[in-house]
Amino acid sequence: MPTAEQFQKIIEPLFPGLMGVEVKEATQAKVVATMLVRPDLCTTDGICHGGAYMAFADTLGAIGAVMNLGEGQWTTTIESKTNFFAAVPAGDTAKAECTPLHRGRTTMVWQTRISRGDGKLAAIVTQTQLVIASR
């Protein structure tokens, strides 16, 4: 299984890299990452764009699923649901912790809690990953 550092290298040239996602921890039971809320990740009013939260979380859920795949398996996100609770201001660092709600043979469900620097819960993202047999 890849380490957090290896996932970081994989995502650098990809969308999570563009957003500045930093993978801090990646185990089969938990994925942790941070993201500095740069002005170009914001919507109007200088707060983090809702889409940036969702993309941040989607990245962690996919990493969590990959950590639990068997030999020759692959995974894809089939659906994702977000509830937004609080705005994260530009300049703050959002932290995401992703844990599994379900790890089955055909599907896995991962839930990511995104919090602000002051610890307040900003959003919860729940996504279903389909487990695909070797292609």
Residues 49-68 that bind a copy of itself (CB under 8 A): 49-52, 54-59, 62
x/- mask, a copy of itself, residues 68-97, rule CB under 8 A, reads --------xxxxxxxxxx-x----------
> What is the rounded distance in angstroms from the CA atom of residue 3 to the CA atom of residue 8?
9
Structure token pair of residue 126: 């729940």
Specify whether the CB–CB gap between 129 and 107 falls below 8 A: yes
Backbone angles phi and psi of 80, in degrees to 5: -150, 140
Contact range with a copy of itself by CB under 8 A, out of 13-21, 22-30, 91-99 = 13-21
Number of residues that bind a copy of itself (CB under 8 A): 47
Using DSSP's 3-state secondary structure scheme, residue 120 falls into coil
Say which residue the tokens 């930093």 belong to: 22
Strand partners, 71: none
Decide: is 106 part of the binding site for a copy of itself (CB under 8 A): yes
User: How far, rounded to the nearest angstrom, does the alpha carbon of residue 32 sit from its chain's CA centroid?
Assistant: 8
Closer Cβ to a copy of itself, 32 or 60, answer by number: 60
Residues that bind a copy of itself (CB under 8 A): 10, 13-18, 39-44, 49-52, 54-59, 62, 76-85, 87, 101-102, 104, 106-107, 109, 121, 124, 126, 128, 130, 132
